Structure 1
Amino acid sequence: MSESRAPFVKICGLKTARDVDTAVEAGADAVGFVFAPGSPRTVDAGAARELAARVPGGVLTVGVFRGQSVDEVRRLTEESGVRGVQLHGDEGPEYYDALRAEGRTLLRATALHVARCGEFGEDLLLIDAPDPGSGKPWNWASQEFTAPAGHWLLAGGLNPGNVREAVETTGAWGVDVSSGVESSRGVKSPDLIRAFVEAARG
């Protein structure tokens, strides 16, 4: 990664106006709203629309989906007004073809080894930890971790204390965090959000 470019930073799983305002003011490049069922961070389309309306145009708003139909993903995306769609399951290239739209950014999240961003038609690739949601990161310096080519975000087990090392070790184009900036499960900490962005930018 070029020393002159700060990494792209996405703060995910936001549920309150305070969370969103803090992330934006801290300098996040993207904020994520979880629509996948079963998470303590899940929001509905109406709540996400109100939160997304607080976000300036230069910050990407992203809806996060897992194992949902194309029709449901499209409906929630349109109802919430988010400008990005992150698919976090086993969705194939046909999903990306169906969801492509003018002005929409498509993100593919996976814990698999991927050679490069764009293989499924995604604009951004997110590499999650081997056990997504566990809070345990990859061993970034080991041979088991191979950085993909292109625009990719590192996720999984990141926090203000390790994100700088993660970026320097992997050369990640960007980083994504959710539980690593929480004071308790599903509850974001403004102080940790600010600390994470500052640490990521070094």
Structure 2
Amino acid sequence: MHVKFCGFTDVADIHTATQLGVEAVGLVFYPPSPRAVTMEQAKTLITAVPAFVSVVALVVNMSHEALVELADNVAFDIIQFHGDENPEQCQQLANAVNKRWIKALRINAEQDTLDSVSARIDGFAAAGASSILLDAYHQHKYGGTGARFDWSLIPHHSSLPIVLAGGLDAQNVAATTALPIYAVDVSGGIEAAKGKKDAAKMRAFMKAVKRDRWQSVTVTDAI
């Protein structure tokens, strides 16, 4: 199980997260979000990210020009498209800045089925996505709601590695080990306030993930 902590606004919080062993840190470049950062803030935050930890730039319906400017000024590794972008738009935008990318899909239990979720994932896989992120649907928000969707809608045979987001915290992340997912993504569940992380909550989250990781190792795996 890989872990991404998202929505950083403070260098000290990134230091804590990377010391705890997260594989990725997310920076939000969507001005309406309370966790949004500017390019200048991002440059400072990235100085706290060590080698071999990925920096993920979360964008929402960003224009071609704005994304090129962002890539020219901020040293991020992966784009997380979190808006209404279709597969072709994601591919074109990512190619313009030569970056790998993932797409967030907001899952609506009233409209989505296993087949429809799988079909949507297939579309982004064909366009070149590296992974797919599944989050809860909200009519007026693109993410960061802290809500959890119906996990029974997670496909067991996805064409892309699945990153699970939405309502995760140290108390429920243990339940994700039985799911067909590659990684978990958390923001609100490790915060003292929006954009300000809580060191104790980050530590508890990573402890829960690591504990269940080792408990799931089989004898064959250990050898």
TM-score by length of 2: 0.79
Q: Does 1:109 align with 2:107?
A: no
| Residue of structure 1 equivalent to 2:93 | 98
CA distance in structure 2 between the partners assigned to 1:101 and 1:199 by the alignment: 39
Match of 1:125 among 109, 127, 132: 132
Equivalent position SS for 2:125: coil
| Residue of structure 1 equivalent to 2:205 | 196
CA distance in structure 2 between the partners assigned to 1:39 and 1:182 by the alignment: 15
Match of 2:72 among 74, 78, 96: 78
Match of 1:154 among 164, 169, 172: 164
CA distance in structure 2 between the partners assigned to 1:129 and 1:85 by the alignment: 19
| Residue of structure 2 equivalent to 1:173 | 182
1:70 partner letter = H
Q: Does 1:137 align with 2:131?
A: no
1:101 positional shift: 6.8
Alignment of 1:55-66 (within 5 A): 55-66=49-60
Equivalent position SS for 1:118: helix
CA distance in structure 2 between the partners assigned to 1:126 and 1:146 by the alignment: 12
- Shift in alpha-carbon separation, 1:119–1:164, aligned structure 2, 3 A: farther
| Residue of structure 2 equivalent to 1:38 | 32
1:29 positional shift: 0.4
Equivalent position SS for 2:102: strand
CA distance in structure 2 between the partners assigned to 1:190 and 1:20 by the alignment: 10
- Count of paired positions: 193
Q: Structure 1: any 5+ residue segments left out of the alignment? A: 1-6
TM-score by length of 1: 0.87
Instruction: Give 1 or 2 for the bigger CA radius of gyration.
Output: 2
Equivalent position SS for 1:28: coil
Q: Where is the helix percentage greater, Structure 1 or Structure 2?
A: 2
Identical aligned pairs, as a percentage? 31
- Shift in alpha-carbon separation, 1:77–1:99, aligned structure 2, 3 A: same
Q: Structure 2: any 5+ residue segments left out of the alignment? A: 108-116, 213-223
- Shift in alpha-carbon separation, 1:102–1:91, aligned structure 2, 3 A: closer
| Residue of structure 2 equivalent to 1:163 | 173
